[in-house]
Structure 1
Amino acid sequence: MNNTGLTRRQQAIAPISAFTALGDLPKLKLVLEEGLKAGLTINDIKEVLAQLYAYLGFPRALNGLGTFMAVVNERKERGIVDIVGAEANPLPAGKSRLELGTEVQTYLVGSPVKGPVLDFAPAIDTYLKDHLFGDIFGRDNLDYMDREIATLGALAGLDGVEPQLMSHFNISLNIGLTEQQLKDVTDALENSVSKAVAQRATSALAKVLASRK
């Protein structure tokens, strides 16, 4: 197993997501600055914050984007030139968003996703496949590992969503993030956010690791 930890750039993602979830904009501003210093590009962070609307709603995501816009403008006024980074390429031609999203979701989870809740409310199944995994995860300017780290940080910042947090720890392991790298995520949350948020993530990760042995 690859025991190499997360890069500084990757470690910066989870606190940004967690403070966006918590709605703590002054502290979000600080970790956004740290993220840029750690190697995240402007477009990396914009993509993370835009993705979070799917988990946190438009109000939190828009507040995050507004805070980030202010950070970028303030740094520009101080003469700091931040790397803009890559834009997303168009989604693959000849494939619907639903087809793409179904493929992406199946890859991330490791098998086709079914369940009683999705049978009970088929519309949410379509939204997940077509929009979250097609429209959003289908954008190629962030890789799946970065997107999962962002999702873990956001869900750790929310109370009462342990099943979803555990699901995304499972996905993270499925796509190649190691146990050490996921512990780095929880460490980043403890060092930059709070012990309570880190403990939520640590507890969910421990349950996932136990279930996979």
Structure 2
Amino acid sequence: MAKLSAALNQGLDVGLTVSDVREILVQLYAYAGFPRSLNALGELMRVLDSRKQRGIQDALGEAPSRPIPTGDALLAAGTANQTKLAGGPVKGPVFDFAPAIDKYLKTHLFGDIFERDNLDWQSRELATVSMLAALPGAEPQVQAHMRIGMNIGMTADQLRQICQVLADRVDADVARRTREALERQLALMAGH
């Protein structure tokens, strides 16, 4: 939590809004789990309270500009978002084996979360890659999100910058996993 507190302060100091940070921490529950997300949100509240006590007034930021669809409209929106992010329809044996996870990904992650327009998709992918890289064993997902980042306009150089920031500010292993995932993805793309 001490490292998170420092990172939250640094982000707010360079202009992230309360909404930006809160949105990232809410989204990351899908990757890190509810307990970690809830703990991180509690830490954000403590950081904001401490900053306020020191006279720092952080910009609040924006809420989503439109309501999130529900029911069949949510499934349609999530499927469209997932398809755009992935660069094509997402299917495979795991989704055939466990169709519920396919529906949850489409309706909740790519629907409920990615329909929230108060944080752009590139920022969401930056947070996702960083979070997944911090989880040993999630290397295939890091690589998939490297591809997603490129599908939505991030360049290989921008993704390499993520690796460098993770090396400088987080951990050498996290940076290594990120760099290796990027290189695997770039090699795959060069082969096609």
Q: Shorter chain as normaliser: what TM range? A: over 0.9
Deviations 1:31-65 (A, max 9, x none): 10000011110000000000011111110000100
Alpha-carbon deviation of 1:174? Answer: 0.6
Alpha-carbon deviation of 1:94? Answer: 9.7
1:104 aligned onto 2:81: yes
1:140 aligned onto 2:81: no
Give secondary structure in 2 for the equivalent of 1:209: helix
Alpha-carbon deviation of 1:92? Answer: 5.2
1:174 aligned onto 2:145: no
- Superposition map of 1:1-213 within 5 A: 25-89=1-65, 90-91=67-68, 96-213=73-190
| Range 171-180 or range 91-100, more displaced | 91-100
The unaligned stretches of length 5 or more in structure 1 are 1-24
| Range 94-103 or range 120-129, more displaced | 94-103
Per the normalisation by structure 2, the TM-score is 0.96
Query: How far apart in 2 are the matches of 1:93 and 1:158?
Result: 31
Alpha-carbon deviation of 1:196? Answer: 1.1
Query: How far apart in 2 are the matches of 1:125 and 1:95?
Result: 14
Per the normalisation by structure 1, the TM-score is 0.87
CA 157–78 in structure 1, closer or farther in 2 if over 3 Å, else same? same
Query: How far apart in 2 are the matches of 1:94 and 1:202?
Result: 39
The unaligned stretches of length 5 or more in structure 2 are none
Query: How far apart in 1 are the matches of 2:111 and 2:19?
Result: 19
Query: How far apart in 1 are the matches of 2:14 and 2:143?
Result: 27
Query: How far apart in 1 are the matches of 2:70 and 2:35?
Result: 32
Deviations 1:164-198 (A, max 9, x none): 11100000011000011101111110111011110
* Over 2 Å off, 4+ runs: 91-95
Alpha-carbon deviation of 1:95? Answer: 6.4
Give secondary structure in 2 for the equivalent of 1:111: coil
Query: How far apart in 2 are the matches of 1:79 and 1:41?
Result: 16
> How many correspondences in the alignment?
189
Alpha-carbon deviation of 1:91? Answer: 2.2
Identity %: 52
